């Protein structure tokens, strides 16, 4: 049995408003083996805060009562069977029940039940590997009664051409159910593409294919040196807001630092401790600036391009992120559509950079600058341009107690009437770990 959980309550007292609020943050995962090498159970739970809509103030934290924030609560429990068919194949059959709920301005709560099965080639297959997969899930939005079904069956194979180069192909059929007038959301699909790994530090993989909505493609590039990390990815997926809440696609600060520290600290346990201590000392945010996962019940096509860079020095660390994301609604249902009620498609672009510097053994500074732009295709003047500058000092008083002082400047220029705003803030915080 394995279990890992991190819980952080944030206590906010607003003197002039006379309010006292608590915001919860939770990330928990557990796994248990009920029958040896056969029956297992995975369980996850999370609580986070996020902005509800692109059309409201884009707060980066919970300090201000913008009316555009919500707490997202998720849980997932998944029992599954695993079996090795000698050295020829490996199989898994899994059932998953999960839930996503929101507090505050939205009631787009939902539950889902799903089943998946896969069969993967074993060690016997060297030059040619293969896989078979099937999945079906049913999403039920409890407040509005809207239902979405997603079903997929596929077969894939990979052929090793040289020790560092291989070709992959995938074919299948998908059948989805949601309200739409843009043709039936089902049909055959295929994709082909190369994968090149010249060293254990560099990987390039790409695919090109076709799905029921048209041509599809993907790209995954990563390279790391002793001090740097470079990543470039492009993906296209039919998904939902709840799907992104259950499997976040954020540029996680801890994951980025974990890769940066890999060359210096090979041991994973020691590296995880070093990453956590570094984040605590420098006061870095949980993730880099990313597109807003606005709340909607609609299924949508998400096209995402993202580039990430990081460099680790003796006293200085720099991390940068650039993204562009298009979302196109695939559903005609207006109930619970969120921002898709205003525009059938949205585009978010942005970039940010964080520079942290260790000034002394227990003192660190961080400087963050960034910008983002949100556009709405159905609005002739529907662009919001947000920029920010943040500077912070963090002091480690003891191994489990730290304090921070942050100064922020945020400005949003909007083409929409009443959409612009400016924020200047100074915040002091105390962090205690138990």
Query: Which CATH number covers residue 6?
Result: 2.40.170
Of 225, 218, 170, the closest CA to residue 200 belongs to 225
Give the confidence band of 104 by pLDDT, cuts at 50, 70, 90: low
CB 23 within 8 A of CB 5: no
Can you read off the two tokens belonging to residue 104?
A: 């505050």
Spatial CA neighbour of 325 closest among 299, 297, 346, 296:
346
- Angle, in degrees to the nearest 10, between helices 268-282 and 253-260: 120
The stretch 115-124 carries a mean pLDDT of 97
Residue 25 pLDDT exceeds 70: yes
% of the chain with per-residue pLDDT over 90: 63
pLDDT digits (tens, 9 = 90+) for 50-100: 999 998 888 888 888 888 999 999 999 999 999 999 999 999 999 999 999
Q: What are phi and psi of 301, to 5 degrees?
A: -90, 120
Domain interval for residue 37: 2-432
**For the CA atoms of the chain, what is the radius of gyration?**
23
Residue 137 gets which letter from DSSP?
A: E
Rounded Cα–Cα distance for residues 342 and 344 (Å):
7
pLDDT digits (tens, 9 = 90+) for 208-221: 999 998 999 999 99
Question: For the segment 261-278, what is each residue's pLDDT rounded down to a tens digit?
Answer: 888 888 888 888 888 888
Token pair of 96 as six digits: 């998953």
Does the predicted model carry a pTM greater than 0.75? Answer: yes
Dist CA 2 CA 38 (whole Å): 16
Mean pLDDT of 142-167: 93
- The structure tokens listed for 28 are 């928990």
Count Cα neighbours of 49 within 13 Å in the Cβ-side half-sphere: 21
Please tell me the total count of domains within the chain. Answer: 1
Q: How far apart are the first and last CA of the chain?
A: 23
- In terms of Cα–Cα distance, which of 3, 90, 89 is closest to 44? 3
| pLDDT for 182 beyond 80 | no
User: d(Cα 47, Cα 27) in Å, to the nearest integer?
Assistant: 7
Phi, psi angle pair for 362, to nearest 5°? -120, 20
Q: Is the pLDDT of residue 241 over 80?
A: yes
């Amino acid at each position: 049995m394995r279990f890992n959980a991190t819980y952080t309550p944030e206590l906010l007292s607003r003197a002039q408003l006379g309010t006292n609020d608590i915001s919860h943050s939770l990330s928990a995962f557990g796994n248990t083996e009920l029958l040896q090498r056969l029956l297992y159970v995975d369980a996850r739970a999370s609580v986070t805060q996020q902005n509800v809509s692109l059309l409201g103030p884009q707060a980066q934290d919970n300090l201000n009562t913008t009316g555009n924030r919500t707490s997202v609560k998720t849980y997932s429990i998944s029992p599954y069977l695993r079996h090795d068919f000698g050295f020829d194949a490996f199989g898994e059959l899994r059932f998953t029940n999960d839930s996503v709920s929101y507090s505050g301005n939205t009631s787009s709560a939902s539950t889902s039940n799903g089943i998946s099965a896969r069969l993967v080639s074993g060690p016997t297959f060297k030059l040619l590997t293969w896989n078979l997969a099937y999945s079906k899930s049913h999403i039920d939005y409890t407040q509005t009664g809207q239902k979405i079904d997603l079903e997929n069956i596929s077969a894939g194979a990979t052929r090793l051409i040289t020790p560092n180069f291989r070709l992959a192909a995938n074919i299948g059929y998908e059948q989805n159910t949601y309200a739409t007038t843009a043709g039936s959301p089902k049909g055959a699909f295929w994709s082909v593409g190369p994968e090149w790994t010249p060293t254990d530090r560099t990987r390039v993989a790409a695919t090109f294919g076709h799905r029921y909505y048209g041509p599809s493609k993907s790209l995954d590039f990563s390279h790391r040196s002793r001090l740097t990390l470079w990543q470039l990815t492009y993906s296209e997926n039919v998904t939902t807001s709840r799907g992104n809440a259950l499997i976040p696609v954020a540029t996680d600060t801890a994951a980025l630092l974990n890769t940066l520290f890999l060359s210096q600290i090979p041991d994973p346990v020691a590296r995880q401790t070093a990453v956590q201590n570094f984040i605590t000392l420098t006061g870095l945010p949980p993730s880099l600036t990313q597109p807003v996962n606005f709340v909607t019940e609609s299924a949508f096509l998400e096209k995402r391009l993202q580039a990430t860079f990081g460099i680790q020095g003796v006293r200085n660390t720099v991390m940068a992120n650039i993204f562009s994301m298009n979302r196109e609604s695939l559903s005609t249902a207006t109930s619970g559509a969120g921002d898709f009620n205003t525009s059938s498609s949205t585009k978010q672009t942005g970039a940010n950079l964080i520079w942290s510097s260790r000034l002394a053994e227990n003192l660190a500074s961080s400087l963050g600058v960034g910008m983002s732009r949100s556009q709405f295709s159905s609005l002739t003047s529907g662009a919001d341009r947000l920029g920010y500058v943040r500077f912070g000092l963090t002091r480690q008083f003891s191994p489990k107690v730290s304090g921070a002082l942050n100064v922020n400047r945020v400005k949003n220029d909007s083409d929409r009437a009443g959409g612009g705003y400016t924020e200047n803030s100074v915040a002091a915080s105390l962090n205690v770990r138990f």
